[in-house]
Structure 1
Amino acid sequence: MPKTEKRSMSWLLQYLKPVKGRLALLMVMLLTSTGLQLLNPQIIKRFIDTAASGGVLSNLFQLAGLFLVVAFVNQLITVAVSYLGNDVAWRATNRLRGDLLKHCLRLDMRFHNVKTPGEMIERVDGDVTSISNFFAMFIVQVVGSFVLLAGILGFMFSVNVPIAIVMTVFTLLSILFMVFIRNLGVNSSKNEREASASLFGLIEERIAGIEDVQANGHVPYVMNRFYRTMRVVFQKGRKAWLLRVIPWNTTVILFALAVTAVLLLGVHYYMQGIISIGTLFLIYQYTQMLNDPIEMLGDQVQEFQKAKSGMLRSRELLSLRSEIENGREDQLPEGPLGLEFKQVNFSYNEDKPVLQNINFAIKPGERLGIIGRTGSGKSSLSRVLLRLYNLDSGTIRVGGTDISDLTLPALYRRVGMVTQDVQLFDGTLRDNLTLFNQDVSDQIIKETTDRLGLSHWIESQPAGLDTHLKAGGSSLSAGEAQLFALTRVFLTEPSLVILDEPSSRLDAATESMLQSAIDQLMKQCTGIIIAHRLATLEKVDQIMVLGDGKVLEFGAREELASDPASHYARLLFTGREEELA
């Protein structure tokens, strides 16, 4: 077995360790089932020989009754084996699904920017399902098939050596051929999975943007893309299937030759009186039984090729490492945190800088307002502060500590962010506010919303905190979603909070309510407010104006407002003229 294959199997078998007790029980049941399968032809042989020799009728009834009992018990064990095999497979691979999902959630944003959610669902679930299907039947069919083959061939050598040799040659040729070509369809199966992942990614993206697609009349274009992608899936799937069925077709041909040879020999020995009619039936029955495990092995070679492609893709995903390395510092100073950017440079792509030589500092408890045109780098500044991306160069310090030296949990415990787009999960209002943290009591939620002046909003919901929300936020208006996000951040009691365009989609009344909540939040922490509306920045201490990723201006708000030559003053003047107009 190649080293890569050994490593793949060794890696996968570690997920079977927690279910080793069930595996042991499964093996016992398999051996029992195999023994019963070998026993029934023996009962039929004795029944035929007894009947042919004019035996006692009561003996025939006993043999018939024994046959029925053995067959019934074997069926019960077969059902139990199938259930237990699937149970073991899903328990093991569910741990793998969990590891893959956790790993994906820990990867940096550069990875997620090039991978669609639909594609990742296929990687986490689709690939692992192919492994699970293989696991479920591998123990039941592959192990059981080898045990059954050994039992059949071992017994046949005690009945008739020439016939046993023919059956053994057929078995060895079939197994050797399947081993030889077991990897024939792996690459094609991997390509098939990749095409399937692309299809799911396409569907997810287009459904997510259904409003834009319909509003702009692009349904025909989307359907054309869908048909072309489906064609690729079909073509790669057909090629993979044709390669995977080669083992099965080969075993069918070998089995036809083996059956012909065995039956000719059996009839020859019967005509010469060497074996009885019951023994001839036994040989025929065991030959037929021999085909079942061979066919099962052929089927499992197909499943193995799909499973191996899933293993390779899963290992490939788990081998990816985030560019964001966890620091070792786990503590920050108590209270509001100061913030310093020193010679910070950042770009999403090497040829297009987004932030260039950013330098500024704010003291603990101060409020910084950031303004600038779309694409000036405002949101990028908050992303590098939260370590969603690594800096190209420079240093960011929070509370005097370089953020690259901090553990990510330590940073996220003390730094909160309210974005324009609020992510909601399918669950209760309570679960969405606490992000499923059971340690946050209803009393804490009530106290927090009271301080923010938002308790009446929660009380107005149909079932209060037990109100069920739909994933995606369609059950909340834009204003409610912003208030919701602010409450969620406030519950974490941050020492530094970033508000990214908090009032960009709100009406005047909701904006006033939101501003009151922000004032309450800012009393206990340092604040950064990224805004388009200048009115949102009336209570900040410092102003920073960004343009093309550079700091065009930084200073106290009142000083900049009173300086006619400043960018901020000109923006204020332009804004007032527009209001008067």
Structure 2
Amino acid sequence: MESAATATSAKAGNIFDWQVLSRLLVYIRPYRGTFALLIFLTIATAVLGTVRPFLIQQMVDVQISNGDWPGLNRMFAWLLGILVAHTGVSYLQTYYGGWLGQYIVRDIRVDLYQHILNLRLQFFDRTPIGVLVTRNISDVETLSDVFSEGLAAMIGDILQLVFIMAFMFYIDWRLTLVSLSVIPPLLLSTYVFKEKVKKSFQEVRTAVANLNAFVQEHLTGMGIVQIFGNEEREFRKFEKLNQEHTRANIRSVLYYSVYFPVAEVLGAIGVGLLVWYAAQGQIEGTISKGALIAFIMYNSLFFRPIRQIADRFNTLQLGLVSTERLLKLLDSKEFIPNEGTRQPATLRGEVDFRHVWFAYNEPEWVLKDINFEVKAGQTIAFVGATGAGKTSIINLLSRFYDIQRGEICVDGHDLREYDLKALRRHIAVVLQDVFLFNGTIQDNITLGDQSITEEQVWASARLVGADKFIERLPGGLQYKVMERGSTLSVGQRQLISFVRALVYDPRIIILDEATSSVDSETEEMIQDAIEKLMQGRTSLVIAHRLSTIQKADRIIVLDRGEIKESGPHEELLRLGGYYAQLYQMQYLVSEQ
């Protein structure tokens, strides 16, 4: 933690993290023409914004002093034209800056979400969802300001300073030096301000991520919070996180409230010194009235971009902080390697685990030297205590995780030889905890696959008996399912997940506690559908209710990641081992 903090502090000390900035600029390439136009408009705005004081100086010292009214009218026409042009160019600069920012944000968000979709499940096991939401929404949105109000605008401010100084030196170098005398303390205060605000921005982003993670997690688990009467304690936790977020923001507000008054005071001192020195020049006749007027205007123009540069710099810094977080996520290589080329149109469904060792975190082995073979069309059931490794086996077969030792084969070929999408297309998984998206029932079944027709959906629904309750819902398949299917019963959600699995016509079926959350009537209906479904398909079943797996071709008993017993139901009962004891316990409970 200390080294990470040191590294963050070191980065905060840099004016720019050019490596991060260069990665960000890659997203400008598709919009090079618009970016070039934006730079041109920025330069034009800087030039047009600095010409006016010079024209006024010429009008006072030349046309007005000499009584040249036709010339004065021409200069006034030029001045009016420049004002109109400056307004138009400023409008275009603001529009194209915002346009560019929004399109770049769109591209970054698409890349980021596509990257997240392909990360392995192990990444999500240890990363709070709220943090990922912050990265994909809040952090990405911050980047739009980098292009619309940060980078291009800062370039414009710097160019404006350059043009102002050029005009000032051209008019009178002595007044220029007097005006610039307050620049050193202003630069010093700007540097200190930049350092403090960069650190506070990092704290703000961290606090936002923590808040998002907390709120997302507790809204999802609100039922548990209320069931156990934990509202007050959770509220106090939220208050603490919210207070940290508030303190981080107040610190940044404090730095702004100190810096800008200091900049205003220094600007006022600069004007005072300018007037004092120019007054002596007026008395001595060495400084014209037009020069004094122009310098007062330039002095105001000069300090405005300096203050804006500090503000825009911090906009850029905030964007770079967000970019650094996004790039860290984009650079994560936690993918399941997909180098396989096998894309079979169908599978026989043979599964073979050969001396498989697996751990989520080595060396804490979850599975130890697992060996079993499943013939095509067979039904294999797994039983064992919680944590025995049953769910890990089905996760490995779907290749959500990769094993450390051994080999897992499907149809005689190592899983790694298959293209991931092609492999998973032939494997259907029905979990105990059914997740439904906010959308229609049909969308939740097809998952947006346009090749699946409504007739196929109804055919699968009839197979598991889900058609009856779907038909009773308003709109049928077009019934709107709320988030996580909150308007449906547990049994109805389970049936929909069954239809979702069946509609893809898989060769391998995985049922992870698929009937443990439904009532006896629904379970009987599902068991009947399962028997029809399993004909000609390989099935791997995990169940606590041993009554549901008695017809399995083989039952594998797992304990602490090892296979303790294996065989048909009757054979395991005759052994009188772990399975027999478990069966007797459930039988006695059911009798009571």
Deviations 1:436-460 (A, max 9, x none): 2233333443444345444444433
* Greater Cα shift, 404-413 or 501-510: 404-413
Secondary structure at the residue paired with 2:213? helix
Work out the CA distance in 2 between the residues paired with 1:404 and 1:346: 15
Matched, 1:408 2:408: no
Q: Which residue of 1 aligns with 2:3?
A: none
Query: What's 1:35 paired with?
Result: 47
Which residue matches 1:214?
A: 226
Change (3 A) 1:454 1:226: closer
* Pair 1:579-2:587 in alignment: no
Among 378, 400, 409, the alignment partner of 1:366 is: 378
In the alignment, the residues of structure 1 paired with residue 451 and residue 182 of structure 2 have an alpha-carbon distance, to the nearest angstrom, of: 65
Structure 1, 58-67 or 460-469: larger mean CA deviation = 58-67
The Cα offsets for residues 517-576 of structure 1, whole Å up to 9 and x where unpaired, read as 323332342111111122322442221122233222111345435x26254445444444
In structure 2, the CA distance between the partners of 1:478 and 1:137, relative to structure 1 (3 Å rule), is same
Q: 1:288 aligns with which of 295, 300, 303?
A: 300
Kindly state the Cα deviation for residue 39 of structure 1 after the two structures are TM-superposed.
3.5
Look up the match of 2:36: 24
Deviation sequence 1:48-102 (CA, Å, 0-9, x none): 5689559587877776666555434433432332222122112113322222233
Equivalent in the alignment of 1:205? 217
Q: Indicate yes or no: 2:280 matched with 1:268.
A: yes
One-letter amino acid of the counterpart of residue 407, structure 1: D
The structural deviation recorded for 1:256 is 3.8
Distance in 2, matches of 1:13 and 1:44, equals 40
Q: Is the 8 A contact 1:332 1:401 kept in 2?
A: no
2:492 alignment counterpart: 480
Alpha-carbon distance, 1:45 to partner: 4.1
Equivalent AA in structure 1 for residue 323 of structure 2? M
User: Which of the numbers 63, 84, 105 marks the counterpart of 1:93?
Assistant: 105
Corresponding residue number in structure 2 for 1:397:
409
2:19 pairs with 1:7:
yes
Report the counterpart of residue 442 of structure 1 in structure 2. Answer: 454
State the AA in 2 paired with 1:227. Answer: E
Give the AA of the match of 2:504. T
Native 8 Å contact 2:54 2:167 kept in 1? no
Task: Find the counterpart in structure 1 of residue 336 from structure 2.
Answer: 324
- Residue 376 of structure 1 is aligned with which of 381, 385, 388? 388
Residue matched to 2:529: 517
* Deviation readout 1:129-161 (Å, 9 max, x if unpaired): 333322221244211112212221222222112
Bigger Cα displacement from structure 2, 185-194 vs 394-403: 185-194
Give the match for residue 144 of structure 1. Answer: 156
Cα displacement (A) at 1:503: 1.0
Distance in 1 of aligned mates of 2:353 and 2:252? 54
Q: Distance in 1 between matches of 2:131 and 2:52?
A: 50
Alpha-carbon distance between aligned partners in 2 of 1:33 and 1:524, rounded to the nearest angstrom: 73
- For 1:416 and 1:108, how far apart are their aligned partners in 2? 18
Aligned identity (percent) is 28
Is the CA contact (8 Å cut-off) linking 1:420 and 1:502 kept in structure 2? yes
Alpha-carbon distance in 1 for matches of 2:373, 2:68: 104
Question: Does 2:191 correspond to 1:195?
Answer: no
Question: Residue 89 of structure 1 aligns to which amino acid in structure 2?
Answer: G
Contact between 2:350 and 2:376, CA under 8 Å: does it hold in 1? yes
Which residue matches 2:560? 548
Which sits farther off after the overlay, 176-185 or 202-211? 176-185
How far does residue 128 in structure 1 lie from its aligned partner after superposition?
2.7
Distance in 2, Cα, partners of 1:330 & 1:176 = 64
Greater CA drift, 130-139 or 48-57 = 48-57
Secondary structure of 2:337 counterpart: coil
CA distance in 2, matches of 1:175, 1:128: 31
8 A Cα contact 2:356 2:407, kept in partner: yes
Is 42-51 or 272-281 further displaced after alignment? 42-51
Q: Secondary structure at 1:369's aligned position in 2?
A: strand
Q: Which runs of 5+ in 2 are unaligned?
A: 1-12
Distance of 1:98 and 1:50 partners within structure 2? 59
Q: How does 1:552-563 map to 2 (within 5 A)?
A: 552-560=564-572, 563=574
CA distance in 2, matches of 1:114, 1:267: 70
Q: Distance in 2 between matches of 1:435 and 1:245?
A: 52
Alignment partners' CA distance in 2, 1:354 and 1:161: 78
Which of 307, 319, 342 in structure 2 is aligned with 1:307?
A: 319
Worse-superposed segment, 55-64 or 325-334: 55-64
Distance in 1, Cα, partners of 2:213 & 2:381: 38
SS in 2 for 1:134: helix
**Which stretch shifts more, 6-15 or 466-475?**
466-475
Residue in structure 1 matched with residue 145 of structure 2 by the alignment:
133
Kept in 1, the 8 Å contact 2:180–2:270? The answer is: no
User: Which shows bigger deviation, 328-337 or 530-539?
Assistant: 328-337
Contact 2:379 2:538 in 1 (8 A): yes
Please tell me whether residue 116 in structure 1 is matched to residue 128 in structure 2: yes
* Residues 466, 61 of structure 1: alpha-carbon distance in 2 compared, 3 angstrom cutoff: farther
Q: Report the Cα distance in structure 1 between the residues aligned to 2:16 and 2:159, rounded to whole angstroms.
A: 27
Scaled by the length of structure 2, the TM-score of the pair is 0.87
Range with greater deviation from structure 2 (341-350 or 163-172): 163-172
CA distance in 2, matches of 1:361, 1:12: 50
Gaps of 5+ in 1: none
8 Å CA contact 1:86, 1:136 repeated in 2: yes
Question: Displacement of 1:363 after TM fit?
Answer: 0.5
Amino acid at match of 2:378: E
Indicate the larger mover: 568-577 or 498-507.
Answer: 568-577
Task: Determine helix, strand or coil for the equivalent of 2:358.
Answer: strand
